């Protein structure tokens, strides 16, 4: 009875078959279970010892052993636990914390909640001979999820692949962003193997190690850091390779040092941004980020601070060149002030504008020594005043403004002031019909935009960007918009159509063009919530040809099938411009100069993307790009086929074949599944 009383006093529950009592011992060799605070032990042989000088019972369990210790599951040969000291030891056992398995000769449970492992093997495989594992000299698991391991060897099967002196990280983070592997064969780079392993994770900070080996070219390694906390993001990539570039084979050491920092203050009024990207050559970015058909470019080296106050938005921005092969407009720095618009309620006028002051330095690549860099301090002011008036069914918006730019340096002189006036009048009328199942709006409109002759012609000052290219220009935009919404008995439109048929009328054109050079049409049609058509096209009246034709269809047929198809056509007279409706370039350069520049780029392109999930555990992605009718360039076909599946329920597997215009490759990517299964 004294033993039973001690069991009750210590908060234990025992359920043993053919239980036996012997002095201070309760035991069985026929199986049973013992439960205590946060602990449940099942075994074939269980011995529970009560000693007078001990703070609690001591348990020894063997055979068919199964232990639940908090959130952990343990199995092994022998388990010893001191309920008084809250200390335990598992011999020749395995600890499981989903989806990880830790197998070791000794697993020690400490009173502070730490778990110590002696020579553990860590894996996610449930098999006795796992496909992969991390074998460590020792490891410590804290608070269920934080792991510290030392002297690790990564093995595939029984073959050691690489060595890590230590690894520290959150198991949840390692689960979501684990070791990732890739194997790629083919192309000019030949066979390439690589991995990304997270070697440290603590709170918002992660540190990963990347290793690549190109059998035709050499090894490469990188340290990648990632810090995300609240309104702060900081990332770095430090990559170094004993490698060479395809285009520059003499390069033997290649590198990339990249960083990003973004921070927003707690009051959301100040934003800080910093980024840099130091490259050994202009191809290392594409070599580093090789997936997909798109070419990658380096990040800008820049810094900015943006401040939002009740009546003003101010910013300081700087951009510098740290790679000699880049062409960059350096800003050293530029201050921008944008006051909030001022409204005169009685008159209905609104005053708006911005002011900039900075020092600009336009630097050409060192590979083009025949081009000379140029620089100047620049002061820019852009005031305007506008008003919208309602005249019956007509809306009339009037805008009057000016642009003023001061340069400290010019091609022939030191100081110069550019001034230009501008005005705009836009009128539109709206006709709207409303029925039970649809609404239809027709909106004819017309506008006049005019710019006075500038005080300096473009060849009398430096051109740093689009804000410097001013000239005398007068034109009108005339068109009609259509908006149709079908409701189908609901409050939200189930189908919609928006379209815009328009043209530009130029009152003077130095290149001898017709007053109306093109007629253009844009349309967006949503036939259903899952089917969209987009069209942008235009007809060139000067040359009587199709100027451009861009058509795209996006269709999600079901949760398992979706595709997008796009056809793009561009004539040699459809200039490639950053701002398509900015015509200063058209009027400021001769027609022949534009036609023989890179702004003229005739081509036709067919794009296709599709996704098909043909099995609950497998999907196929296809991306195709076919181009033809290019000026002085051959036709091309590029495509990528990706098979996505899982392996052994824990690995994401991607098999990819990529065929590019001048290269092709087969790649294999695999990593742990990010989304945990629902338990």
3-state secondary structure of 2: helix
Q: Would you place residue 550 in the very low, low, confident or very high pLDDT band (cuts 50, 70, 90)?
A: very high
Distances, alpha carbon 556 to alpha carbons 128, 151, 567, 615, in Å = 43, 50, 18, 17
Contact (Cβ atoms closer than 8 angstroms) between residue 549 and residue 534: no
Largest CA distance in the chain: 114
The answer to which of 16-25, 316-325, 618-627 has the lowest mean pLDDT is: 16-25
Distance in angstroms (rounded) separating the CA atoms of residues 428 and 395? 5
Q: Would you place residue 609 in the very low, low, confident or very high pLDDT band (cuts 50, 70, 90)?
A: very high
- pLDDT-above-70 percentage for the chain: 86
For residue 530, give the DSSP letter.
T
pLDDT of 144 higher than 80: no
For 283-330, the three-class secondary structure string (H helix, E strand, C coil) is CHHHHHCCCCCCCCCCCCCEEEEEEECCCEEEEEEEECCCCCCCCEEE
Highest averaged pLDDT of the listed ranges 193-202, 343-352, 535-544: 535-544
Question: How many of the other CB atoms lie within 10 Å of CB of 296?
Answer: 15
Q: Which residue has the higher pLDDT, 531 or 245?
A: 531
Distance in angstroms (rounded) separating the CA atoms of residues 638 and 624? 6
Q: Where in the chain is the domain with CATH 2.60.450.10?
A: 2-171
Distance in angstroms (rounded) separating the CA atoms of residues 356 and 313? 12
Structure tokens of 671?
A: 């990593």
Distance in angstroms (rounded) separating the CA atoms of residues 150 and 119? 10
Phi, psi of 524 (to 5 degrees): -130, 120
Distance in angstroms (rounded) separating the CA atoms of residues 97 and 142? 12
pLDDT of 345 higher than 80: no
Going by C-alpha positions, the residue among 678, 677, 668, 675 that lies closest to residue 195 is 668
3-state secondary structure of 69: strand
The pLDDT value recorded for residue 338 is 92
The pLDDT value recorded for residue 177 is 45
Phi, psi of 675 (to 5 degrees): -85, 125
pLDDT of 288 higher than 70: no
Q: Which residue has the higher pLDDT, 518 or 203?
A: 518
Average pLDDT on 161-188 reads 65
The pLDDT value recorded for residue 677 is 36
| Mean of all residue pLDDT scores within the chain | 82
The answer to which of 158-172, 178-192, 212-226, 493-507 has the lowest mean pLDDT is: 178-192
Q: Name the β-bridge partners of 164.
A: 152
pLDDT of 640 higher than 50: yes
Torsion (CA) 640, 534, 448, 456 in degrees, nearest 10: 0
Q: Name the β-bridge partners of 667.
A: 184, 656
Give the pTM: 0.68
Distance in angstroms (rounded) separating the CA atoms of residues 262 and 274? 7
DSSP-derived secondary structure for 221-259: EEEEEEEEETTEEEEEEEEEEE---SS-TT--EEEEEEE
Question: How many of the other CB atoms lie within 10 Å of CB of 571?
Answer: 19
Q: Which residue has the higher pLDDT, 84 or 237?
A: 237
Burial class (CB in 10 A: 0-12, 13-18, 19+), 309: exposed
Q: What is the pLDDT of residues 385-438, one digit of tens each?
A: 999 888 878 899 999 999 999 998 888 778 888 999 999 999 999 888 877 777
Q: Would you place residue 315 in the very low, low, confident or very high pLDDT band (cuts 50, 70, 90)?
A: very high
Going by C-alpha positions, the residue among 370, 494, 478, 501 that lies closest to residue 426 is 478
CATH superfamily, domain 2-171, is Lipopolysaccharide (LPS) transport protein A like domain (2.60.450.10)
pLDDT of 64 higher than 80: yes
Average pLDDT on 1-19 reads 69
Burial class (CB in 10 A: 0-12, 13-18, 19+), 617: exposed
Q: Would you place residue 248 in the very low, low, confident or very high pLDDT band (cuts 50, 70, 90)?
A: low
Structure tokens of 599?
A: 């702004």
Average pLDDT on 47-55 reads 73
Question: How many of the other CB atoms lie within 10 Å of CB of 52?
Answer: 5
Distance in angstroms (rounded) separating the CA atoms of residues 400 and 378? 23
Contact (Cβ atoms closer than 8 angstroms) between residue 182 and residue 668: yes
Distance in angstroms (rounded) separating the CA atoms of residues 279 and 325? 9
DSSP-derived secondary structure for 187-198: STT--EEEEEEE
Q: Name the β-bridge partners of 273.
A: 262, 304
Q: What is the pLDDT of residues 366-391, one digit of tens each?
A: 777 777 888 889 999 999 999 988 88
The pLDDT value recorded for residue 219 is 79
Q: What is the pLDDT of residues 557-592, one digit of tens each?
A: 998 999 999 999 999 888 888 788 888 877 777 778
Q: Which residue has the higher pLDDT, 333 or 174?
A: 333
Going by C-alpha positions, the residue among 107, 17, 105, 12 that lies closest to residue 58 is 12
| Residues 6+ away with beta carbon under 8 Å from 380 | 354, 355, 356, 357, 403, 404, 405, 467
Average pLDDT on 443-467 reads 88
């Amino acid at each position: 009875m004294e033993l039973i009383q001690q069991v009750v006093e210590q908060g234990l529950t025992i359920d043993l078959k053919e239980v036996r009592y012997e002095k201070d011992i309760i035991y069985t060799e026929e199986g049973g279970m013992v439960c205590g605070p946060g602990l449940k032990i099942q075994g074939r042989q269980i011995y529970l010892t009560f000693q007078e000088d001990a703070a609690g019972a001591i348990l020894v369990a063997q055979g068919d052993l199964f232990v639940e210790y908090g959130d952990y599951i343990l199995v092994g040969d022998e388990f010893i636990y001191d309920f008084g000291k809250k200390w335990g030891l598992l011999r020749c056992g395995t600890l499981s914390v989903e989806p990880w398995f830790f197998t070791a000769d000794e697993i020690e449970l400490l009173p502070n909640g730490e778990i110590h492992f002696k020579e553990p093997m860590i894996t996610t495989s449930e098999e006795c001979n796992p496909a992969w594992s991390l074998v460590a000299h020792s490891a410590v698991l804290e608070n269920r999820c934080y792991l510290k391991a030392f002297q690790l060897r990564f093995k595939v099967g029984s073959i050691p692949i690489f060595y890590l002196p230590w690894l520290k990280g959150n198991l949840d983070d390692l689960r979501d962003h684990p070791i990732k592997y890739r194997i790629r064969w083919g192309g000019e780079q030949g066979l390439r193997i690589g991995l990304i392993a997270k070697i440290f994770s603590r709170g918002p900070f992660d540190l990963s190690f990347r290793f690549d080996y190109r059998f035709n070219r050499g090894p490469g390694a990188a340290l990648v850091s990632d810090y995300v906390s609240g309104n702060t993001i900081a990332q770095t990539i430090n990559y170094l390779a004993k490698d060479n570039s395809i285009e520059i084979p003499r390069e033997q050491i290649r590198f990339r040092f990249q960083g990003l920092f973004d921070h927003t203050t707690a009051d959301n009024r100040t934003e800080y941004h910093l980024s840099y990207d130091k490259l050994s050559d202009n191809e290392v970015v594409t070599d580093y980020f090789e997936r997909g058909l798109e070419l990658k470019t380096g990040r800008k080296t820049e810094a900015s601070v943006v401040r939002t106050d009740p009546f003003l938005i101010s910013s300081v921005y700087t951009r510098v060149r740290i790679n000699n092969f880049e062409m960059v407009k350096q800003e050293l720095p530029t201050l921008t002030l944008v006051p909030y618009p001022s409204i005169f309620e009685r008159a209905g006028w609104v005053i708006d504008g911005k002011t900039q002051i900075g020092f600009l330095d336009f630097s050409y690549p060192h590979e083009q020594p025949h081009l000379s860099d140029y620089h100047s301090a620049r002061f820019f002011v852009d005031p305007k005043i506008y008003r919208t008036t309602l005249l019956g069914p007509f809306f009339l918006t009037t805008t009057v403004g000016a642009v003023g730019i001061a340069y400290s340096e010019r091609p022939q002189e030191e100081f110069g002031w550019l001034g230009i006036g501008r005005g705009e009048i836009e009128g539109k009328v709206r006709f709207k019909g409303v029925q039970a199942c649809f609404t239809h709006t027709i909106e004819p409109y017309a506008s006049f935009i005019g710019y006075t002759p500038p005080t300096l012609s473009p060849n009398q000052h430096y051109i740093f960007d689009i804000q410097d290219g001013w000239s005398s220009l007068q034109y009108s935009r005339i068109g009609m918009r259509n908006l149709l919404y079908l409701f189908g008995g609901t409050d939200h439109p189930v189908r919609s159509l928006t379209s815009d048929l328009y043209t530009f009328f130029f009152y003077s054109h130095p290149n001898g063009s017709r007053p109306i050079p093109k007629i253009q049409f844009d349309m967006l049609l949503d036939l259903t919530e899952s089917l969209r058509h987009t069209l942008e096209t235009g007809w060139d009246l000067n040359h009587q040809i199709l100027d451009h034709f861009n058509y795209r269809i996006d269709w999600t047929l079901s949760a398992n099938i979706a595709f997008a198809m796009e056809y793009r056509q561009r004539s040699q007279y459809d200039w490639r411009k950053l701002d398509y409706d900015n015509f200063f370039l058209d009027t400021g350069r001769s027609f022949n100069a534009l036609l023989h520049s890179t702004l003229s780029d005739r081509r036709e392109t067919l794009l296709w993307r599709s996704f098909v999930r043909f099995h609950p555990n497998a999907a196929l992605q296809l991306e195709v790009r076919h181009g033809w009718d290019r000026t002085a360039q051959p036709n091309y076909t590029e495509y990528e086929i990706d098979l996505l599946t899982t392996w052994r329920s824990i690995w994401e597997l991607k098999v990819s074949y990529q065929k590019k215009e001048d290269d092709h490759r087969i790649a294999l990517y695999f990593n742990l599944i990010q989304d945990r299964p629902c338990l």
